[in-house]
Chain A
Amino acid sequence: MALLLIAGLVMVVPASRAAADLDEILQRQVLRVGLPSTESQPFLTTDSAGVLGGYEGELVRALAARLPVRLEIDRSAADADALVAAVRAGTVDVAFGQIADTLERARGVRFSRPYLHVREARVFDRMALARAGGEVPHLARQPVRVAVTAGSAFTESFRVAYPSAELVAFPGITEALAEVAAGRVAVFVADEVSVARWWQTHPASAIRLETRVHRERDVSYAAAVHWRAERLQAWLDLFFDKCERDGTFAGLRERHLETESPKEEVR
């Protein structure tokens, strides 16, 4: 009877119990950082020696240099949604990886202040756009197919912008844009940095595809921590404030994001 009761109780203990705040992290001298399993230029790269690069990779290294702890990198999560889930489950202390600080995610985790604001970009199939008379609002009302990369925050903005559309998630930008170019999907929604980077290697696609950047829709990337980790959140906020003031962010932007942005704008 007692055994059964204990077993029952163990079952209802939330997984988030494992979550740690700053004091415990300092005590164990290890910061468990969740990063996406896939490399994504210009945000996260790993060189042959295993050194993290890219905007977020360098930021993680800068952060680790300011905390008296050892970094333990966990790259088991495939995308931003999976990283948020790992933070909620307490298997990592903090996660980076183009995680937009959406209101839906903020129900279950805490976000640092954003370390990067990027605008939303939409890559249209020119034919689909032409069928809608060249008007984005008209296209947005039609039952078209819209592509996003799996686990990205654009799922949330897509629901608002294209209420009648069908959402299709692809593992990466290359797969998604191949579908748009083939005319099977009307539009792909992502951040302008990723889109601009893709264009560098696919200039010939301009015949079929057209990019428009939404000037009013910002995506803000932030570090996610467990909802109990208020101290770690406060520390990250201060660290990022200092990064803004001492030019760290400016340097990261210069090194990694100085790509030509698409000029056309939506609305």
Chain B
Amino acid sequence: MKRSRRSLLPWGVALIAGLLGAGVGAVGAAERSGQALDLPPDMARIAAAGELRIALTTDDWPPFFFTHPTRGLVGLDIDLAREMAGRLGVEVRFVREAKTFDDLVTLVVSRRADLAVAYLSDTLERSVRAAFSQPYVQLKPAVLINRALAGQARRGPDLNALLNHPDATIGVTLGSSAETFAAIDYPQARLVKFEAWSDITRALETETLLAGFSDQIDAQKWQSEHPEAAISIETVMLAGPPDTIAVAVHFDDRQLRYWLDHFLAVKHRDGSLARLNHYYVGSDLWKKDLSASP
């Protein structure tokens, strides 16, 4: 009996070592990377995984993120996400599974992505589910108005009188921040929810919708693609508070959230955030570069 007990000891040690090894698997892998031993749990998790998972929607949203025929995924958010991963010393992986913008938050909350860097507005509704970084882009709200229907409405030149009325129909994209903002700005209007922004512009063209509510990006994109339609559809940039685009992060990932804000502050300080904004949002430079590339 004694002998057998003694002989069990090395097995016991091995078992404990194995259990401990399995229990601290993430830390173990991080340790092997050389510097993650005393990292905060969220940073250690990312270091151990060797990748930063970024949630995106299945739809393209140029110039934030979209698939280019030869260059693959490109855009402002893609540049930003790649730089974040590079600075964290890990690979980037895009989780392109969200059907709507609200789904992006779900991917972060359910831990299927570390961050959502995806043209996502930091609305108060979303902020009860996840934390947001400081904004990295500010966009002016914009409306597209069918001139013929506006004339028929006979409510004068005042935009608010035209839109904040029970007979007014305003199109918004389902699960977008415009849905919230339009409801706040025009509480009396009838909001019509569409799957995609292209459905809204089509409804405006066929005179089945008075107005479409979105931001300067959507409005500018539509204008540049349909210059002839300016006769029938008017674009108005609104003077209201800007829509702020920010990174969504899990509430429990406190150091990651701090790091994100620090990352954005450093980019603000060195001017690279302003340059990124100018390249993608303030100009057509990105379009010119892409059309020049094979």
Give the complex CA separation of A217 and B87 in angstroms. 17
Note all chain B residues with C-beta closer than 8 A to A230.
254
Give the complex CA separation of A224 and B262 in angstroms. 13
**Contact A14 B16, beta carbon cutoff 8 Å:** no
**Contact A5 B16, beta carbon cutoff 8 Å:** yes
Contact of B240 with A by CB under 8 A = no
Note all chain A residues with C-beta closer than 8 A to B37.
14-15
Give the complex CA separation of A253 and B143 in angstroms. 50
Q: Name A4's closest neighbour in chain B (CB-CB).
A: B16
Q: Name B24's closest neighbour in chain A (CB-CB).
A: A12
**Contact B39 A108, beta carbon cutoff 8 Å:** yes
Which stretch of B112-120, B175-183, B264-272 is in the interface? B264-272
**Contact B20 A227, beta carbon cutoff 8 Å:** no
Note all chain A residues with C-beta closer than 8 A to B254.
227, 230
Contact of A103 with B by CB under 8 A = yes
Contact flags B13-35 to A (C-beta < 8 A → 1, else 0): 10011001001100100000001
Note all chain B residues with C-beta closer than 8 A to A56.
none
Contact of A111 with B by CB under 8 A = yes
Given A103-B266, A107-B43: A227 in contact with B16 (beta carbons within 8 A): no
Give the complex CA separation of A104 and B47 in angstroms. 12
Give the residue of A11, A16, A216 whose beta carbon is less than 8 angstroms from that of B271.
A216
Contact of A250 with B by CB under 8 A = no
Contact flags B56-78 to A (C-beta < 8 A → 1, else 0): 00000000000000000000000
How many residues of A are counted as interface, with CB atoms below 8 angstroms from the partner's CB atoms?
A: 27
Contact of B282 with A by CB under 8 A = no
Give the complex CA separation of A12 and B38 in angstroms. 11
Shortest CB-to-CB span from A194 to chain B, Å, is: 20
Note all chain B residues with C-beta closer than 8 A to A220.
269
Given A103-B87, A107-B259: A12 in contact with B20 (beta carbons within 8 A): yes
**Contact A4 B38, beta carbon cutoff 8 Å:** no
Contact of A50 with B by CB under 8 A = no
Q: Name B20's closest neighbour in chain A (CB-CB).
A: A8
**Contact B258 A106, beta carbon cutoff 8 Å:** yes
Note all chain B residues with C-beta closer than 8 A to A16.
38
Give the complex CA separation of A231 and B251 in angstroms. 18
Contact of B255 with A by CB under 8 A = yes
Contact flags A107-118 to B (C-beta < 8 A → 1, else 0): 110110000000
Contact of B286 with A by CB under 8 A = no
Contact of A89 with B by CB under 8 A = yes
Given A89-B38, A101-B262, A103-B259: A108 in contact with B16 (beta carbons within 8 A): no
Give the complex CA separation of A15 and B37 in angstroms. 9
Q: Which residues of A contact B (CB under 8 A)?
A: 1, 4-5, 8-9, 11-12, 14-16, 88-89, 101, 103-104, 106-108, 110-111, 216-218, 220, 227-228, 230
21 contacting pairs across A/B (C-beta < 8 A): A4-B12, A4-B16, A5-B16, A8-B16, A12-B27, A15-B38, A16-B38, A89-B38, A103-B263, A106-B263, A107-B43, A107-B255, A107-B259, A108-B39, A108-B40, A111-B262, A216-B271, A217-B270, A218-B269, A218-B270, A227-B258
Q: Which residues of B contact A (CB under 8 A)?
A: 12-13, 16-17, 20, 23-24, 27, 35, 37-40, 43, 47, 87-89, 254-255, 258-259, 262-263, 266, 269-271
- Lowest 4 A-B CB distances belong to which pairs? A227-B40, A103-B87, A106-B262, A16-B38
